[in-house]
Amino acid sequence: MKIYVGNLPYTIDDARLRALFEPFGTVASARVVADGDSHRSKGFGFVEMADDDAKRAITALNATSQGGRTIHVTEARVRPDA
């Protein structure tokens, strides 16, 4: 399952995002989305995990404080083509 993680601290990187989710199971991928020009985090990212692990992580991490910010953790929605 692909998980959306929003309102991330701008200091978090891929490795720290992965580490946040690893207590809930094997993380297939973890990526913080960055601006193409400045390479600065846009404050959100995506994590991929097995469905059961992902559901546990979403329940446990949604609306928790990370780096002074309350993160939003939900199942990623399919973005319609523009």
Neighbours of 31 (CB within 10 A): 14
**CATH superfamily of the 2-75 domain:** RRM (RNA recognition motif) domain (3.30.70.330)
pLDDT, averaged in runs of 10, over the chain (82 residues): 97 97 98 92 97 98 97 92 64
Region label for 56, one of left (φ > 0), alpha (ψ between -120 and 50) or beta (otherwise): alpha
pTM of this prediction exceeds 0.85: yes
| pLDDT value of position 82 | 55
Tell me how far CA of residue 1 lies from CA of 36, 46, 61, 71, in angstroms.
Answer: 26, 10, 15, 18
Both structure tokens of 54? 């992902």
Both structure tokens of 68? 């002074």
